[in-house]
Amino acid sequence: MVADYKKIDLFGKSFLQKMVIESPFGYDFPVEERACFLYVLNGEFKYRFEDNETQIPTYHSLLLNCIESGKQVHTAENKKAGEIVIVTFHPDILKKIYEKELPAIVQSGKVVSNQVASTINNDFLIQKYIEGLLFYFENPSLVSDEILVLKLKEIILLLSQTREAATIQVILSQLFSPAKFTFKQVIEAHIFSQINVEGLALKTNLSVSSFKREFKKIYDDSPANYIKTKRLERASELLLASGERVSDIAFDCGFNDLANFTKSFHDKFGVSPTNFRSTKN
């Protein structure tokens, strides 16, 4: 759950975000041509991609591209609040502010890799950079595009001087090797996230009516029914395979209301989630 949210745009696109988060919280990164630098101010988070999970403690950060599906960040502990700052890199904005030549850190290197994320250890200069951003979140009237361009160039420079610079170059350079995503890839990337049909339609760049027609053509089912079925099937698997609380499993599978999850589960399987776990184990 997001308890507090602040955002600053640059040239009409999201550039800086600050979130105070109460557990449980999970965020699925949208499939887009952009990269995100996520800095943990308080608490501890986990980054999950496919079968891998990485911890991001306080004062550490993560850089990842969003041009592949399946990336998620979530809180690491159920009872602790957390706070994060996100800096977003859009390739068109980078091209705009570096009119003559892109800096080396975002140019393609000699090493070809499918690296999609890199954790960045506690770095003093990056900490000071984040402290400077906090001033602008608290004083939005002082923000201008000129200042934001300088802050974007500053984080690019700082990242190029970290120990992870080589990996960061691979990740950022991928922004300039455009990737196309199929309708199915976008659906599968968000099927267990807290998103409705309107949100999915937006991510596929379709109107809601066109989205529903395309969905029916591919899946031979309505979006609402297909997604609910997949979420309930995953929940049933997690109930048997893990010892997580029912409420946490419901949240992880895309349900934001426990009562609705319990009713839907009973309608499909004939028993409550708790009884399903006890009778099957």
Supply the pTM of this predicted model. Answer: 0.63
- pLDDT, tens digit (0-9, with 9 covering 90-100), for 217-228: 888 999 999 999
Report the side by side order of strands in the sheet with 82-89: 2-10, 13-21, 82-89, 35-42, 61-65, 117-120
Q: Are 264 and 229 in contact (CB under 8 A)?
A: no
Beta strands per DSSP E along 110-222:
117-120
Question: At residue 270, does pLDDT exceed 90?
Answer: yes
Question: At residue 32, does pLDDT exceed 90?
Answer: no
Q: Are 92 and 53 in contact (CB under 8 A)?
A: no
Nearest of 29, 22, 81 to residue 251 by alpha carbon: 22
Question: At residue 230, does pLDDT exceed 90?
Answer: yes
DSSP states along 63-120: EEE-SSS-EEEEES-SS--EEEEEEEE-HHHHHHHSSS---GGGS--S------EEEE
Task: Give the highest mean pLDDT range of 78-82, 251-255, 266-270.
Answer: 266-270
Residue 74 phi, psi dihedral angles, 5° rounding:
-145, 160
- pLDDT, tens digit (0-9, with 9 covering 90-100), for 104-160: 877 765 444 556 778 888 789 999 999 999 999 999 999 999 999 999 999 999 998
- pLDDT, tens digit (0-9, with 9 covering 90-100), for 168-187: 888 888 777 655 566 787 88
Name the residue with tokens 């969905």: 215
pLDDT at res. 78: 63
pLDDT at res. 181: 60
User: Which domains can be identified in the chain, with CATH numbers?
Assistant: 2-176 (2.60.120.280), 183-280 (1.10.10.60)
Q: Are 239 and 278 in contact (CB under 8 A)?
A: no
Average pLDDT on 197-206 reads 82
Question: At residue 79, does pLDDT exceed 70?
Answer: no
